[in-house]
Amino acid sequence: MKRRAMVVGNWKMNGLIETAQELAQEILEGLMERENRQLLCEVVLCPPFTALYALHAPSSSSLKLGAQNMSPEPGGAFTGEICGLMLRNVGCRYVILGHSERRIHFGESDALIARKLEAAFRDGLIPIACLGENLADREEGRTLDVVDAQLQALLTAIPEGPQPARQQMVLAYEPVWAIGTGHNATPEQVQEVHRFLRQRLSDTLGEELGGRMRILYGGSLKPQNAAAIFAQPDVDGGLVGGASLKAAEFLAIIDAVSNPKEPVLIR
């Protein structure tokens, strides 16, 4: 089964409203010039919370909006938090969960990330759930054990039943040592982990769902390395940090999505 590719821009804590609007506009214009790409590849922008509403309008069927985090709570006395319904209200369809920067700098545990995942399903958002090993894990040969433990924690939060969000959920493999460092994983390293994750998804959720779920790679993706990584059979696109802040680079990464060999599943 061929899955529709996806490229997600994670802008992190960058961009005031005006610069966010300019960047989104440039990306939108670039996508308009690439009508055939739009069929091939879903494009999602994840600006900071403060720019989401301003990007509501340029986002449309060709550009979707996502948040970078959310509260597991449905609302109420949780000072400083943003809940899923608020994100839906400003136009979000997706939410990134469990990014390594949240795990490292904000102490997010697998258990908290699983609660957020459950909340995303409850609130009608599609999760882009991140996992990945750190450098010591890789050097000591623990990569697959570490990502498996993270995956199993996430899977406990996926609701039973065939609701569409369950099928649309996205995983992102992001080796911590490759994020923002300029050291991307090799295509072979990426494929090894993606193939393993897909097998584990199929074992746990069944072949149908395991075969449908998109698995993105993230970590120092650039126009120069994207095509070789995207050409791997279990890689369905990318989660892009630094290079998503420059329209030309982000569009070049979208251009690197390989042509499907089988009919694409349109979502």
The residues binding ligand PGA (CB under 6 A) are 10, 174, 179-180, 218-221, 239-243
Q: What is the dihedral of CA 188, 189, 192, 193, to 10 degrees?
A: -150
The residue sitting closest to ligand PGA, measured at its beta carbon, is: 241
CB of 202 to ligand PGA, least distance (A): 25
Contact 94, 46 (CB under 8 A): yes
- Comparing CB distances to ligand PGA, the nearer of 48 and 260 is 48
Q: Is 73 helix (H, G, I), strand (E, B) or coil?
A: coil
- Comparing CB distances to ligand PGA, the nearer of 6 and 205 is 6
- Comparing CB distances to ligand PGA, the nearer of 11 and 205 is 11
Contact 129, 113 (CB under 8 A): yes
Q: Which residues participate in catalysis according to the annotation? A: 99, 174
The first and second tokens of residue 259, run together, are 């042509």
- Report the C-alpha gap between 259 and 244 in whole angstroms: 21
CB of 35 to ligand PGA, least distance (A): 26
CB of 221 to ligand PGA, least distance (A): 5
* DSSP single-letter state for residue 259: P
Angstrom CA distances, 107 to 13, 68, 111, 133, 252, stand at 18, 16, 11, 16, 34
**Checking phi first, is residue 240 left (phi over 0); if not, alpha (psi -120 to 50) or beta?**
beta
Q: Is 87 helix (H, G, I), strand (E, B) or coil?
A: helix
CB of 142 to ligand PGA, least distance (A): 21
- Comparing CB distances to ligand PGA, the nearer of 146 and 243 is 243
